[in-house]
Amino acid sequence: MLVLSLDTTTRFGSVALVEGKKLLAEINYLSPSSHSRQVFEALEALFKITGKKISEVDGLAVAAGPGSFTGIRIGLSLVKSLSLASGRLVAAVSALTALARKLLWPGVKIIAPAIDARKGEIFACLYQVEKSELQEVVPAGAYEPEKFLAMISAEHPIYFIGTGVDVYLPLIKTKLGEQAVITGTSYYLAAEIGRLGEVVLAQGKGLKPEEVEPIYYRPSQAEEKKTEQVQR
């Protein structure tokens, strides 16, 4: 199954083609703003490099969040348009799960993906690794960093990854000391999104474009303003 995947949830944008869980190519870029131009250029380069055509794609996969609200909307709008045009189904994947899968290495038992949510929060969860599978032990959500870290036992080394780690590294080190492991692994996710999406699509759980929903974990700024106006 040939899967086209994309991630625009953070400034680390990426697109990829995955087939049989094998990565054919991944195009990465840093977006200083909204992804609106870069993601289309990345897609064009992806098909040029691989020699594939959009008509050959069997399914689509997208990082549905959490992350930047603007980035999520751009990614979902694009994948929905591609789905409508091609008739291909969509696998909506969590960016936190994709981040964690980048650290499924021998000996790793606890993984904490964290994405900067701004406003003094992170989007995060905690996974325990069981037979190379991720078991969620702290549910995904929007957390104040101190409260999230307070839920983590330092019995085993905790492997952290994500933009939230960059922002709150001093706090993480203060709370967990040497048990906090920072690997320097990249945050580009399209390859992982594609592999996860391929499994979802193979299980017959692909979504029609109108069924694809964002993963936010908290209201967007626009939704907060609307709520405030209603309450007034």
- DSSP, collapsed to helix, strand or coil, labels residue 19 as strand
Alpha-carbon span 142 to 123, nearest angstrom:
4
103-182 architecture in CATH?
2-Layer Sandwich (3.30)
Q: Record the tokens describing residue 166, joined without a space.
A: 């960059």
> pLDDT value at position 220?
61
Q: Record the tokens describing residue 218, joined without a space.
A: 């908290």
Amino acid identity at 155: E
**Contact 26/43 with Cβ under 8 angstroms?**
no
**Contact 135/152 with Cβ under 8 angstroms?**
no
pLDDT in tens, the chain (232 residues): 999 999 999 999 999 999 999 999 999 999 877 777 899 999 999 999 999 999 999 999 999 999 999 999 999 999 999 999 999 999 999 999 999 999 999 999 999 999 999 999 999 999 999 998 999 999 999 999 999 999 999 899 999 999 999 999 999 999 999 999 999 899 999 999 999 999 999 999 999 999 999 999 998 654 544 434 434 4
Sole residue written with tokens 């029609």 = 208
Alpha-carbon span 140 to 115, nearest angstrom:
11
Domain with CATH 3.30.420.40 in the chain: 2-95+188-231, 103-182
- The CATH superfamily holding the domain 2-95+188-231 is ATPase, nucleotide binding domain (3.30.420.40)
Residues 6+ apart with CB under 8 A from 77: none
Alpha-carbon span 97 to 177, nearest angstrom:
24
pTM over 0.85, yes/no: yes
> pLDDT value at position 37?
86
